Amino acid sequence: MSSTESTEALVRHERRDDGVDVITLANGKVNTLCVELLGQLHAVVTGPAADARAVVVTGGGKVFAAGAEITEFAERAGEEPFAVSPPTRVAEIGGAFRETLDAVAAIACPTVAAVNGFALGGGCELALACDLRVAASGARFGQPEILLGIIPGGGGTQRLARLVGPARAKDLVLSGRMVDASEAERLGLVDQVVDGDARDAAFAVAAGFARGPRHALALAKRAIDGGLEGSLDDGLALEQRLFVESFATPDATVGVSSFLRDGPGRAEFA
């Protein structure tokens, strides 16, 4: 395995020999998503991982991410140590979440969240920003912000509703309850539940994508994500435009020619 590890301490990046980029959160025991970590994550996904063929996002073997660093919402000055920060500071932190998780969602290749342990609040929102989610059987998911008298601010009300539907999203967001991996799978929040370490299964899924047609995969992802932002007619128009564009890629040259010459399923993409 070759490695290009980030010089920063809170996020690690490596590129495996099978073409999968691995982004690992490394912020203490529970991987709280402080502003510094979000900045480092943004730098990785827009920098060394930007040309990846497939990406796995993980928090390691014990926990994915337990959510935002709540102490960052405390007032930095004044006599009251438990006072809440003013709206300007809250907007600054919320903006860091929005910018970083949007950047994760915009990675051009397929992305897989490998969830061991807890994925709560911002941690669940980070998993939602990935294309697929593989969870260990002992994993737990939730959006508990309502229990603090606030609401999700990193996509929890939007990406979750688009993934599992508004009624199920409201159940999770309005109650703040946690769900185990099996319930998360039934809800459609998780795509695969495995015994043992979720990273092993996520690597296998991502490696399959890494062997695929990178240009076509990127266009297909753009079509699906972009189509959800407008009407059905807008989405179909986008699909047609990207369908035509796909025929001008090296993938089409290889794939269509291989089909005509050797039949289906024999193309090998660079």
Active-site choice (69, 72, 145, 185): 145
Q: How far apart are CA 6 and CA 14, in angstroms?
A: 8
Structural domain count, the chain: 2
> Residue 231: what pLDDT?
95
In this structure, the answer to whether residues 149 and 252 fall within a common structural domain is no
Q: Is residue 63 part of a domain?
A: yes
State the CB neighbour count (10 A cutoff) for residue 233.
Answer: 8
25, 247, 260 from 266: Cα distances, Å: 37, 18, 11
This prediction has a pTM of: 0.92
In this structure, the answer to whether residues 56 and 90 fall within a common structural domain is yes
In this structure, the answer to whether residues 227 and 189 fall within a common structural domain is no
In this structure, the answer to whether residues 171 and 243 fall within a common structural domain is no
Q: How far apart are CA 17 and CA 207, in angstroms?
A: 10
CATH code: domain of residue 44 = 3.90.226.10
State the CB neighbour count (10 A cutoff) for residue 1.
Answer: 9
In this structure, the answer to whether residues 127 and 218 fall within a common structural domain is no
In this structure, the answer to whether residues 189 and 158 fall within a common structural domain is yes
Q: Is 125 among the catalytic positions?
A: yes
- Report percent pLDDT > 90 for the chain: 80
Q: Is 185 among the catalytic positions?
A: no
Active-site choice (99, 125, 185, 229): 125
Cα Rg for the chain, rounded, in angstroms?
20
Quickly state the pLDDT bin for 6 (edges 50, 70, 90): very low
Give pLDDT tens digits for 222-262. 999 999 999 999 999 999 999 999 999 999 889 988 888 88
Q: Is residue 5 part of a domain?
A: no
CATH code: domain of residue 254 = 1.10.12
Give pLDDT tens digits for 60-85. 999 999 999 888 888 765 667 678 87
Q: Is residue 2 part of a domain?
A: no
In this structure, the answer to whether residues 104 and 220 fall within a common structural domain is no
Residue type, 187: L
Q: By residue range, what is the domain housing residue 251?
A: 214-262
Q: Is residue 3 part of a domain?
A: no
In this structure, the answer to whether residues 144 and 252 fall within a common structural domain is no
Q: Is residue 268 part of a domain?
A: no
In this structure, the answer to whether residues 172 and 222 fall within a common structural domain is no
